Structure 1
Amino acid sequence: MPEHLPSVVGSGHRRSSVKIIRTSLFKFVGLLTGVFFLAGYLILYLAHDLDRNEETESAFYTNKAVRALEKSISATVKDYAFWGDAYKHLHVKVDTDWAYVRQNVGPTLYSDFGFKGIFVVNSANQTVYSVVEGQLQRVDASSWLKQALPDVLTKARSGADAETPITHFVNIGGRPALVGAAAITPGTDPTVSPDDGLPSVLIFVDILDNFRLETLGKDYGVDALRIATAAELNGGSVFALGENGVAGSLHWEPPKPGERLLGLGLPLIGFAALLVCLMAWAILRRTTASAQALDASYDSLQLSQTALAISEARFRDVAEASSDWIWEIDSQGRFTYLSERFERVTGLARHEWIGVRMDLLLCTELGTVSQWLSIPNRRPDVSVQCRYVDPKGHQHVTRLSARAMADQGFRGTATDVTEEVESRRRIEFLSQHDSLTGLPNRTRLREFLDGKLKTQPTSERPLVMLSLDLDRFKPVNDLLGHAAGDAVLNEISSRLADRVRHGDLVARIGGDEFVLILTDLKGQAEVEMLCQRLIESIERPIQIGEQEVFVSASIGIAMAPADATEATELLRYADIALYEAKSGGRNTWRFYAGDMNSKIVERRRLESDLRFAIKHGELRLHFQPRFRITDGKMVGAEALVRWQHPERGLISPDTFIPIAEETGLILALSNWVMETALRYAASWPDHLFVSVNLSPSEFKRGNLVERVQRALLQSGVEPSRVELEITESVMLDDAPGALEIMRTLKRLGIRIAMDDFGTGYSSLSYLRTFPFDGLKIDRSFLNRLGANDDDRSVIEAIIGLGHALSLTVTAEGIESQEHLEFLKSALCDEGQGYFLSRPLDIDGFCALLRVTVSAVTPGIS
């Protein structure tokens, strides 16, 4: 061979090497370009998918918010329509005084619930009662709603037997409105007998506006919920109200996480592409120069091997830069390649899995990975979720994608989605469980209860529902804080869960309210044993920091099928039984009985009558005189309220005062007592004072200081002639707040006395801290005076304590001459009781004034 031949051949090799390098680099750059385009497409797809998911979730919660609105108006119209009093006063005859003046079905529905329209349509489909925006008017319901009502009336009457109201969206003057309607029936009132004619229909109308919708949307995490405009109807995020949107549509602004992703991802991809282009240009120059400098002795095979090695290195760099790990398997399903990311993501060693079947590592929910790969006509762009266990024993979830290779093997990528799956599970869990205790919530309770009732429990194997409410829980929150309250709730939840069997349910449905659904309890005795164990468990002390907290519980019991077979009725009966347990002294249980419902109806009627009595002058004020023990002179009188009911006669304060405190009527009642007592006292001699009792709830609400100032201004009475009596429970509930109010009252010149002294456990410390002018010894001490000499010493000690603190000491319940003589010897300041004078009405008290102003009381002098 000629000597110059190698030189010629080397030259040819050099030219071939440059061409191969350039071609490979351009291909690689093309591949990277494809990768960047794919990454950009994936980001666009992911952004679109995120926005679509947010849109779907917002639509779901919008639907949930609308359904909650329908449920609220349905429950409200049901409470008023299925009521014996409503049947008598709105169906049998239309009693405007009962409905509107007494506010049973009147303006409070507008002020409290926001119902713009309230209508009653009789059996002849004529509007016989209407209240529009809280004002009594003569308006036809069809005319006001601007549409015919036959369908609504028919559907409402068809639900009369099952006591089922209906809801319906309509459009009133371009604004959507929610109509709730129900047939008026006697409900469970045993005193009312329904007639045979068509029932009247009660209609509530709630007109929706943007402010109301925005507030509703915030409660369900939906931003800017409002009435959709014409321009917004053609876009997304629209929820139709009524059939085909006849009542209008709602629009909201769903979150746009995709836009934030695009704003961050696309610039990064662009920057990376620019960087790769610069690197490719630099590599091209360097590799071209290197190729030209290669020795002519390298043959084409060596050049090809070099190019292949460079290509493999570049591929490896790209593969390891990915967040996923890459895999390949042969036709037998054995791993032939795993990227280095495999070890960082899974914690497993690559070399231990090369040659091992893929099915030993990964499995799907429906079978093996091999079975999934062998599905005929499987789409290559469809992925599958698989599970594997890392070296620490933790289970992970990965999304696997695969494409077939020419040798009947497969290659693909695996993405770890464990956190995503766990987040979705958490969301699903929270939708049916209480976030604080982890117990099932009201939604899960209803599903569980419906499922159990479908099995049709029998009398031998009943389904038992316990409605449980904690006693003495509110002071824990008030005194120790909400963190301590949460700790108590968690501990109680654990104790309740430990006391039930597998397959039963413990749910938390409110602040301190729980419901237990139990099976396999064979009789009332076994239920009572369980209730006793539950209460004993709850009463055990709970350690919160360095303090021990004690709570108790009241339990209401309803059973299926004996009491009810419907979930709603069972829940209601258990609540009624719970109310009876609380009324019976708490820390006990009660089984539901039929007469309990009538008691609640009776209590509701009494509450309605009390509301009417306060406004229409059925209350009466009596005064019980208070006398100075030493000389028998009258020094003042205590104002005592009485209720002269037109049908029931004189009702004791022990009956109606608790109702007033529970329903919030105590403020109106107290205002009447205070203003009336001070008005009468203005005509008394100047040396006589008037004493008025205050409820503890008045210190928590009602602007007590302003109310007292108003009563003083209206009556013209000197503040020094007014005494307010309070019990020590005021200080127990909120000592700092009560102290500030009492100091303000003292600055006005008001006298303050502690009532029922000696019945509490912390009164001594309060006497030194709070600005009291006097204390009243509870009547129980005098009642036991003859039977127990210890009470004589206690009374003397109380009188001595009061004098030491410069307080006026008053004894209550003086019933005999013996009581009076003892109090005089013990140097008690003042006294009142039946022996001195019974409570007197206005005329009787004025007559007593004329006799005793200048005289002394018999028995004292």
Structure 2
Amino acid sequence: MEKLNIDPKSLLKGKVSNLSTARAYLLACSLLLLAMFLLVGVLLVSIAAHLNHDAGEHTRIDIENALQSVEKVAASTVKDYAFWGDAYIHLHQQVDVDWAFARQNLGSTLFTDLGFEGVFVVDASGRTVYSVIEGQLQAVAVQDWLPMPIEPLLAQAREAAVNGQALSRLVQADGTLAVLAAAALTPGIDPNVKAEAGPAAVLIFIAKLAPQRLVALGQEFGVQDLRVVPAGGVAAGVLSLSLRDNAGVVQWTSDDPGHQLLVLVVPLVIVAGLIFTLMAWVIQRRSTAAARVMDSNYATLQASRAALAVSEERFRDVAEAASDWIWEVDTQLRFTYLSERFDVITGLVGAKWLGLAADDLLTSDQGLLSAWFKDHARRPNAIVQCSYLCGGGELRICRLSVREIPGQGYRGTASDITEEVEARRRIEYLSQHDALTGLANRTRMQEFLEGKLKAVPTLERPLVMLSIDLDRFKPVNDLLGHAAGDDVLNQVSRRLQGCLRGDDLVARIGGDEFMLVVADMSSPLEVESLCRRLIDGIEQPFYLAEHEVFISASIGIAMAPADAIQAEELLRYADIALYEAKDGGRNTWRFYAGDMNARIIERRQLEADLRQAIKNGELRLDYQPRYRIEDKRLAGAEALVRWQHPRRGLLGPDVFIPIAEETGLILPLSNWVLYTACRAAAGWPEEVMISVNLSSTEFQRGHLVARVKAVLVETGLNPARLELELTESVMLNDEKVALNIMQGLKALGVRLLMDDFGTGYSSLSYLRSFPFDGLKIDRSFIRGLNASGGDQSIIQAIVGLGRALSLTVTAEGVETIDQLKALKDVQCDEAQGFYLSVPMNAQAIGELIAGCTD
């Protein structure tokens, strides 16, 4: 047997060589692991930075959308007011503050209800002619309130109006970020209002975005602590967005998903590094002790496997810490991978969906995902919106980002955007619905009406347009407050909807005005039956806290195709019919007829003529003398206004006074009558009184006490010689307000007379409660009076009542000597009428007074 010779030195040399190799290999593995940890650290920081950047960009988009929605709503609101024929008449052709502010057409409700702190009207010369600041009428120029050049804004607003658009932007107003909306005043679609040549006045709305409002706006879009900072005060490291037009810079508090990722993953990486370090030290100890290559190789292999496991765990943690869930599908679009975030976000079990088709889970409005992937997934940054049922059974919406894996399938991420989509839908809903009642607004109603008209209604099955205006609604707001008024409007909305079918439309177009679009009405009788149900429903009492409120409604009806086939014309004709219904006594309805339009045009022409008549001095005063019956001496004269129309001749007050009361012209007309009468009477003897009639409208607005005082001071007339004649309607509107005004007039020293006594149902109580100095018996009682009887007993009772209350009693309409004798028999104080004297002009009454005093 051959002897085996083994050299101990060679064994020792091999051992040392194996030991060096093991140490070198261990060092290389350690350096590799160190490089890997460094790479992972860099990747984590990069991923965190990208997550923070993406979150910031998403937030910026949300903020821009929020601010754009505010601008869009403001522009739509100012456009509704600016493209309105009445606003063009009252704020461009002339500045009617009473129409705009007192009648709440552009008054304090723009601040209290819509949040516009500043409302301005700037005329063609750039002068602010109307301003309402925080609901208060003030004389403030827009340049003083808005520190920015105003001329370019006016030019842009007028240029935008040519295309039927309004202008909106973000500005700095009084040191606060605000949304500004401007539009040039135009006649809109009203064919009866003609646009004048030259630049139009511009209507400007400004709503401040106070810090609380910015925070609330940001929260609606998922943005925390949204705020405005000065351009030079942007804090470092805080996300910000510079607004256009130098409106400022907004900042917000970011969720910093990348920071959260680092907080979660970095400790894990550090622990893994410590573990690997310990393992390397153990392996080195074992290699040194054993000096065996196999042990060294085995330890290295184990270390590599452990490093790979930790690396996979690390990247799995990164994927699961993200806000999206990760997916992979094969070429047949069957799920091969779903990250654990899928279970958390969707509430579904990812393991059950592996192997199932993506079309079974996700639905897209662009068709099957399998078809979409074939056509679009190869494009870079391919994105598709999908919906699915989550584990709770609710419909959720997500955005899929897709990238192709050549020959293997597709992978990507899914982001939940349900709240974002719902916010967009909410904005779209608000743009077409009334915020108070939830009914369709004017925009939605216009679209619905045009759609119905495209279906071509027939005479047998017409399309019916009902224009409804509430009667006696204003006192609800005035006496009980706007909250009660809003409650009534909501109840009216429900009652109107209850009278219609599901495919009909109810819209609130502003204030207490509603529009109904009803199809397939077979006959006018069916329409009238609907109108009766609507009025009966509205007339039912409204219960508000401790109050029971009653209102009614007037309805105007226009039908297509009999009246019109265009939406604008149908709306206008329904409004014309509504006007006729109100003129016919309210609480009724009227069908549109061709002659209505002619009457409306004639009335509007008369209104325009009346405006010119007041300016051009076409009005005149006649004076009807009033005599004491006992000694037939002249006691005074009543001023009676007449209109010398250039084409229609002399018009009495019954023709134009109702128009003046309705349009607000009663105030300048009454001012002229009061001043002219007092100026004429100032030259009469002290014992001769002058009587002037007041409209009930003047008690509701117009600062009556201050106006009367100013006229008395300017004309120098002794207040005791001025008598103001009032009708019972003054007290019917608001007794408390009327009493305060009458007490103010009495404090000036003037006398108050109740006119047309006997025609109201509660005149006796008014005589006892209000500070009257006299009463005038209505001519209807005098007409049947004679010395032999007739209405003498009624007159005697009225005279007795007057004496009991220390009131001067005057009889109107005395036309015969028998009537005068009968009045003398019952000891009536004074009389006036054609038998005693017809009305006469200023010169004639002056000559009469001079003759009586000689």
**Equivalent residue, structure 2, for 1:841:** 840
The aligned runs of 1:215-234 (5 Å cut-off) are: 215=204
Residue 534 of structure 1 corresponds to: 534
**Deviation of residue 656 (structure 1)?**
1.0
What is the CA–CA distance in structure 1 between the aligned matches of 2:381 and 2:619, rounded to whole Å? 81
Which range moved further: 543-552 or 283-292?
283-292
* % same residue: 50
* 2:325 match: 325
Distance 1:676 1:430 in 2: 53
One-letter amino acid matched to 2:449: L
CA distance in 1 between partners of 2:770 and 2:851 (Å): 37
Question: 1:60 and 1:537, CA in 2 relative to 1: closer, same or farther beyond 3 A?
Answer: closer
- Are the aligned partners of 1:347 and 1:391 in contact in 2 as well (CA < 8 Å)? yes
Structure 2: gaps spanning 5 or more residues: 1-10, 94-119, 127-161, 167-182, 211-241, 287-294
| SS of the residue 1:446 aligns to | helix
Which residue pairs with 1:150 in the alignment? none
> CA separation of 1:540/1:387 partners in 2, compared to 1, >3 Å: closer, same or farther?
same
What residue in structure 2 maps to residue 42 of structure 1? 54
Q: Which residue of 1 aligns with 2:37?
A: 25
Partner residue in 2 for 1:484: 484
CA distance in 1, matches of 2:76, 2:440: 19
CA distance, structure 2, for counterparts of residue 311 and residue 806 of structure 1: 108
Contact 1:47–1:257 (CA under 8 A) maintained in structure 2: no
Aligned 1:115-514 pairs, distance under 5 A = 204-206=197-199, 212=202, 215=204, 254=244, 260=250, 264-265=253-254, 268=256, 283=271, 286-287=274-275, 289-294=277-282, 296=286, 299-300=299-300, 302-304=302-304, 306-328=306-328, 338-339=338-339, 341-348=341-348, 358-375=358-375, 377-379=377-379, 381-403=381-403, 408=408, 410-514=410-514
Q: CA deviation at 1:488?
A: 1.9
Residue 49 to residue 836, structure 1, CA distance change in 2 (3 Å) = same
Q: Distance in 2 between matches of 1:74 and 1:834?
A: 41
**Partner SS for 1:555:** strand
Q: Which amino acid is 1:446 matched to?
A: Q
Structure 1 residues 403, 753: closer, same or farther in 2, change over 3 A? Answer: same
CA distance in structure 1 between the aligned counterparts of 2:344 and 2:265, rounded to whole angstroms? 29
Which of 10-19 and 710-719 deviates more?
Answer: 10-19
Mapped to 1, the partners of 2:357 and 2:719 lie a distance apart of: 94
Q: Give, in angstroms, the shift of residue 274 of structure 1.
A: 8.2
How far 1:718 moved relative to its partner?
0.6
Equivalent residue letter for 1:286: L
Relative distance call for 1:47 and 1:681 in structure 2 (3 A) is same
Conservation of the 8 A alpha-carbon contact between 1:168 and 1:179: no
SS at match of 1:35: helix
- With the length of structure 1 as denominator, give the TM-score of the two structures: 0.69
Q: Any idea what the Cα deviations from partners look like across 1:535-592, whole Å, max 9, x if unmatched? A: 2222222222232222222222222222223222222222222221211111222222
Q: Which range is displaced more, 546-555 or 645-654?
A: 645-654
Aligned to 1:134: none
> Which residue of 1 is the match for residue 524 of structure 2?
524
Are the counterparts in 2 of residues 48 and 258 from structure 1 also a CA contact under 8 Å? no
Distance 1:34 1:327 in 2: 22
What is the rounded CA distance, in whole Å, between the counterparts of 1:431 and 1:647 in structure 2? 48
Distance 1:785 1:388 in 2: 89
Residue 332 and residue 545 in structure 1: after superposition, are their counterparts in 2 closer, same or farther (change >3 A)? farther
CA-to-partner distance for each residue in 1:130-182, whole Å, 9 max, x for gaps? xxxxxxxxxxxxxxxxxxxxxxxxxxxxxxxxxxx99999xxxxxxx999999
Instruction: Report the equivalent of 1:84.
Output: none
The DSSP-based 3-state class of the residue aligned with 1:509 is strand
Q: SS in structure 1 opposite 2:427?
A: helix
Aligned position for 1:686: 686
In structure 1, the residue matched to 2:753 is 753
Pairwise CA distance, 1:421: 0.8
CA spacing shift, 1:351–1:540, aligned 2, 3 Å: farther
> Aligned runs of 1:390-789 on 2, under 5 Å?
390-403=390-403, 408=408, 410-626=410-626, 634-645=634-645, 647-733=647-733, 738-756=738-756, 771-776=771-776
Structure 1 position 333, deviation (Å): 5.6
How far apart are the structure 2 equivalents of 1:434 and 1:493? 11
Whole-angstrom CA distance in 2 between matches of 1:168 and 1:409: 50
Change (3 A) 1:631 1:347: farther
**1:290 partner amino acid:** L
CA gap of 1:61–1:486, structure 2 versus 1, over 3 A, is closer
1:146 matched residue in structure 2: none
Q: How many residues align?
A: 714
Bigger CA drift: 518-527 or 818-827? 818-827
Q: Tell me the distance in 1 between the aligned counterparts of 2:705 and 2:844.
A: 31
Deviates more, 1:67-76 or 1:577-586: 67-76
Whether the 8 Å contact between 1:179 and 1:204 is mirrored in structure 2 is no
Give the distance between the partners of 1:73 and 1:116, measured in 2 at CA.
21
Structure 2: which amino acid aligns with 1:563?
D
Query: Does structure 2 conserve the Cα–Cα contact (< 8 Å) formed by 1:638 and 1:690?
Result: yes
Q: Is the 8 A contact 1:115 1:204 kept in 2?
A: no
**1:614-635, CA deviations, whole angstroms, 9 ceiling, x for partnerless residues?**
3455434333444557776654
User: Could you tell me how far 1:838 is from its partner in structure 2?
Assistant: 5.4
Could you give the per-residue CA deviations for residues 192-230 of structure 1, whole angstroms, max 9, x where no partner exists?
A: xxxxxxxxx99722179xxx58x2787999xxxxxxxxx
Structure 1 position 730, deviation (Å): 3.8
Aligned counterparts of 1:833 and 1:775: Cα–Cα separation in 2: 13
The Cα shift of 1:35 comes to 1.0
**1:808-858 CA-partner distances (Å, limit 9, x unpaired):** 55565667889878878988x74545487455214665576567779xxxx
Distance 2:416 2:374 in 1: 23
Post-superposition CA distance 1:301-331 (Å, at most 9, x none): 6544543453344344433432233445567
8 Å CA contact 1:385, 1:397 repeated in 2: yes
Partner Cα distance (1:698, 1:323) in 2: 66
